[in-house]
Structure 1
Amino acid sequence: MQRSRSLPGGRQGASAQGRSTWLVTPGTAPGRFDTAVRSGADVALLDLEDSVAPDSKNAAREAVITWLSQRAAAEGSGTTAAGVRINAPGTVHGLKDLLAVAESGVRPAVLVVPKVESARDVEIVAEIIADEDGQRCVWALIETPVGIQRLSTILQTRVLAGVLFGAADYAAAAHCRLNSRALRQPRSVLAVGAAAAGLPAIDSPYFDLRDPDGLKHEADEAADLGYLGKVAIHPQQLPVIQKAFRPTPQELAAALAVVAAAEAAHGEITTVDGHMIGPPLVAAARAVTDCAGATPAFATSTEARSE
């Protein structure tokens, strides 16, 4: 059983499920906001930080807040969550972003805080952006060696909904190359830390749009490490990412067989195709079926048996 994308209990919530694809869109491109929501991504993340030049920050902020307000007024039961990446809270534009969101009364489903290096960075945002319904929306973007060093403390804050890895900023700060081999150690540390805290982790974008094979390799590697999703910088990357974080038909069929056998055995150790099946493998199988939205009743379906 491979790549069982699960969380070890604790703080698993709505934001931890069904969020494998994140599409980032510059806040300076309001004409693309609706397109991002219709792209099929799980999260349409409107960016006020790196993709926006300093002299365009105010205009981008106004465009994002206006769009979010209009969406809130007319929103139905869409499956794509609207999110915002603000500027770092310790900057002037970061404070302006927070005040604009707070004063608008609009609460994005996802609020990404960049350059997080302490629990206080996240707590300040959560204090300003109060969630009356108790749903956590604040995600910490870990993208510096200091952030990785202090990760255990950051992950202890109870206001976090999840974490993301920022490869480009990390590579710049660590003076290392921007590739999966150079960044494997911090990516692994973040994935393990998030799993231990019961939080979802989302991997950094792959920046070369001309290299779908490289994207596939990196997305598969992220899934193997325990990430639950990956950020895309263009809609054309979404199908590759979606495939990487979904069980294959073969994985799903095997998982369904394990779950069905375990239920038939009523908690006793059993076997499937000659392999002994105990609690750890059953838990891994249930994680796969949960990811696919499947149940043992589907074990004989065409999809489960397809090659």
Structure 2
Amino acid sequence: MVTPGISPDRFATAAGSGADVALLDLEDSVPEPQKDEARRLVLRFLRLHDQGEATFPATVGVRVNAPGTLHGLKDLAELAEHGHWPDLLLVPKAESARDIGLVDQIRGDASTPSQVWALIESPRGIQNLTDILRAPCLTGVVFGAADYAAEAGCKITSRAMWYPRAILAAMAATSGLPAVDSPYFSLHDPDGLRREAEEAAELGFVGKVAIHPAQLPVIQDAFRPSRSELEFARAVVEAADAADGTITTVGGAMVGPPIVAAARSLTARAGHEPASRRTKGSDHE
């Protein structure tokens, strides 16, 4: 859930909205003349959060300005100076591992280091994904459709965004990192939001950015397994346990270690089985 850093009255609302992450934005949603004030407001909120005066179920994140810009350097320098790092730091315009490395250098040996996520929002960022994903401190990636479309000269449509989204989700998976999809920018089109969120789930994204609390239920529902998917996953797990790890069948379909691993992951996410429980042979997934 993204909230402009210049709107402090909305910080607590975002953090208590039910979103997994409340992202306070210092970049695109803050006009140039207001960036210093937004930084001050965000730092004050982080201080209250660190001191326990403002506690929320959501992870509190901050999108700084791009590290290669004056305001990006100011954001990072003041976070380091005051020592109030957010739970999650989103680095925009990431196009190389150096962009992430610079953030890590400025963080230094912070006592409570943030998760560092890269916002991939340009054709060059997609082209350099292999390099970016090698950054040692990187813990996740987010796709930014608006900036990508602007640089690529394409429209922000499902068809135009399919390639970069698919590449990003797949390559993040090879690095064992979660990927989160771009926001859906139309606030009055729940059907379009649902369609795009379901596509993101199909591609392998673990979530989607929301820009308004009204979008959260639609997004959460799209990433929640359906009853039929959960029932099939349970049947796969039960059959695999009964077969003691050997290949078996469920509903006429062959079930091997990769399918069993996927079923265990799905039931674990749904809260029906510990993720650590595994069948013999599942290490070959």
TM range (shorter): over 0.9
Distance change (3 Å), C-alpha of 1:256 and 1:131: farther
Counterpart of 1:70 in structure 2 is 48
Q: Equivalent residue for 1:61?
A: 39
Q: What amino acid is aligned across from residue 49 of structure 2 in structure 1?
A: R
- Structure-1 residue corresponding to 2:198: 220
**Contact 1:202/1:228, CA 8 A, preserved across alignment:** yes
Aligned mates of 1:46, 1:148 — CA distance in 2: 25
Match of 2:213 among 225, 235, 259: 235
Report the equivalent of 1:119. 97
**Letter of the structure 2 residue corresponding to residue 121 of structure 1:** D
Q: Does 1:163 align with 2:131?
A: no
Rounded Cα–Cα distance in structure 2 between residues aligned with 1:212 and 1:175: 26
**Matched residues in 2 for 1:153 and 1:132: separation?**
25
Query: Corresponding residue for 1:110?
Result: 88
Correspondence 1:134-153 to 2 at 5 A: 137-153=115-131
* Compared CA separation, residues 62 and 77, structure 1 to 2 (3 A): closer
Aligned equivalents of 2:228, 2:26: Cα separation in 1:
41
State the Cα distance separating 1:221 from its structure 2 match. Answer: 0.5
TM alignment of 1:176-187, pairs within 5 A: 176-187=154-165
Verify: 1:265 aligned to 2:243, yes or no: yes
TM-score (norm 2): 0.92
Alpha-carbon shift at residue 261 of structure 1 (Å): 1.6
**3-state SS of 2:267 partner:** helix
TM-score in terms of structure 1 length: 0.86
**Secondary structure, counterpart of 1:258 in structure 2:** helix
Inter-CA distance 148–109: structure 2 relative to 1 (3 Å threshold): same
Unaligned runs of 5+ in 2: 275-285
- Number of positions where the alignment pairs a residue of Structure 1 with one of Structure 2: 274
Percent of aligned positions that are identical: 59
Residues 211/267 of structure 1: CA separation in 2 closer, same or farther (3 Å cut): same
Q: CA deviation at 1:277?
A: 1.5
SS in 2 for 1:183: helix
Secondary structure of the structure 2 residue equivalent to 1:238: helix
Corresponding residue of 1:39: 17
CA offsets per residue over residues 114-147 of structure 1, 9 Å max, x none?
0011100001001112355686611000001111
The 3-state SS of whatever aligns with 1:69 is helix
How far did 1:34 drift? Answer: 0.4
Q: For the Cα contact (< 8 Å) 1:112–1:139, is it kept in 2?
A: yes
Alpha carbons 2:181, 2:205 under 8 Å: kept? yes
Aligned Cα RMSD in Å?
1.5
Partner Cα distance (1:168, 1:55) in 2: 22
TM-superposed CA distance for 1:284, in Å, is 1.1
Instruction: Please point out which of 68, 79, 93 is paired with 1:90.
Output: 68
The superposition leaves residues 244-301 of structure 1 with CA deviations (integer Å, 9 ceiling, x where unpaired) of: 11111221121111112211221112222332211111011012112212129xxxxx
Q: Could you list the runs of 4 or more consecutive aligned residues of structure 1 that deviate by over 3 angstroms after TM superposition?
A: 75-78, 130-136
